[in-house]
Structure 1
Amino acid sequence: MHDTSPPSDWLVRWAHVLPPAARVLDLACGRGRHTKWLAARGCRLTAVDRDAAAAEPLAHVAEVVIADIEGGPWPLPGRRFDAVIVTNYLWRPLWREIGEAVAPGGWLLYETFSAGHERIGRPSRPDFVLQPGELLRVSQTLGLDVVAYESGQLSEPVRIVQRVIARRPAPAPEAGAPPLFGSPPAGG
């Protein structure tokens, strides 16, 4: 089955922060709407999902990893990415692994269902919807600098979400390294 769903408007809005040829992890990628969209923009993708039938067709644009990330071990130990993308998925026991997968200077773009969504439809179980402000707090706990955070109702389809873009701080420049912004002042 071919997914023709457009990418998340949150991802589209923030994709400009990704460096050229960024290494991107699309976690719980499903049929790969974000994998395909980012690959078409020159990113190098790793797509992870437990549904082989949905994810394997992405092999022509991404490294595909079939894994049960809820019931098995983390499939990418020690791997770091310029960006980690997660949409419409929540499994709290993976917070640490998701945070560790964001390389220094890298980005987390996360969007999923929030409390209140249960009045609209599925998911409705508390295990699968964020509590108020939870995504913001978790991002900060993971040591990420939050650049933008939104919480509220979206349309088409109607849903209640939280979404964040956050960056792992880059290491400080080494002593004697050239300045990041122009030359040092004269005599300094």
Structure 2
Amino acid sequence: MTTDTLPPSEWVRRWGHLIPDRPGGARVLDLACGQGRHSRWLMRQGHQVTAVDRDAQALAGLAELGPWVRPLQADLENGPWPLEGREFEAVVVTNYLWRPLWPRILVSLAPGGLLLYETFADGNASVGRPARPEFLLQPGELLRVCAGLRIVAYEDGFLNHPERFVQRIAAVNAGPAVTAGDKAAPPARYPLHGAG
């Protein structure tokens, strides 16, 4: 099975229903998208996807998807941030960790926007790659990074198929803070998957 035929992450499928509705489809950033398994799935959900990766060959297959998926080649680790000033209703990141990008990722979330993040965690060296600490989340790291967001779901542990240690989070940018004199908005409702 090649990367482009892999199903989307179970985590992305489980929490993707929380991506805010927007006329014409929500704007979604698929960061370090590889060959675009999540971009394709997000497009099928009716979203407009910006798919970013440094590998032009991996992005080539996304050009056929038309205006719903916009591939963007960029070296996220050695080049400038290619999305300055842009906001998205959702940011999706899987199997990728480059800590200097955290501030950029967080500022890219529009008010009400959803962050879906899943990658390898401490302990993964015992079962395979990646094994270097700079590519593994430390215990509670996603919770600390997302402290300013509303945490909807979080997991940190071991998965069997394939064997790996992961940390994953679904978190919502609650938007601008209510200031004195502003009327407090009712709390947002985040329906659980499958809830009636």
Confirm or deny that 1:162 pairs with 2:167.
yes
Q: Following TM superposition, by how much is the alpha carbon of 1:12 offset from its aligned partner in structure 2, in angstroms?
A: 0.6
Identical columns (%): 57
1:63 counterpart SS class: strand
Conservation of the 8 A alpha-carbon contact between 2:31 and 2:53? yes
**TM-score (norm. length: structure 1):** 0.88
Conservation of the 8 A alpha-carbon contact between 2:156 and 2:168? yes
Q: CA RMSD in A?
A: 2.0
CA 111–173 in structure 1, closer or farther in 2 if over 3 Å, else same: same
Alpha-carbon separation, structure 2, partners of 1:44 and 1:180: 28
What stretches of structure 1 move > 6 A for 4+ residues in a row?
172-177
Alpha-carbon separation, structure 1, partners of 2:30 and 2:126: 28
CA 156–26 in structure 1, closer or farther in 2 if over 3 Å, else same: same
Q: For residue 111 of structure 1, what is the aligned residue in structure 2?
A: 118
Max radius of gyration: which structure? 1
Confirm or deny that 1:27 pairs with 2:28.
no
User: What letter corresponds to residue 42 of structure 1 in structure 2?
Assistant: G
CA 105–120 in structure 1, closer or farther in 2 if over 3 Å, else same: same
1:14 counterpart SS class: helix
Paired residues in the alignment total 178
Alpha-carbon separation, structure 2, partners of 1:176 and 1:71: 42
Q: Following TM superposition, by how much is the alpha carbon of 1:132 offset from its aligned partner in structure 2, in angstroms?
A: 0.6
Alpha-carbon separation, structure 1, partners of 2:186 and 2:166: 37
**TM-score (norm. length: structure 2):** 0.85
Of residues 77, 80, 88, the one that matches 1:70 is: 77
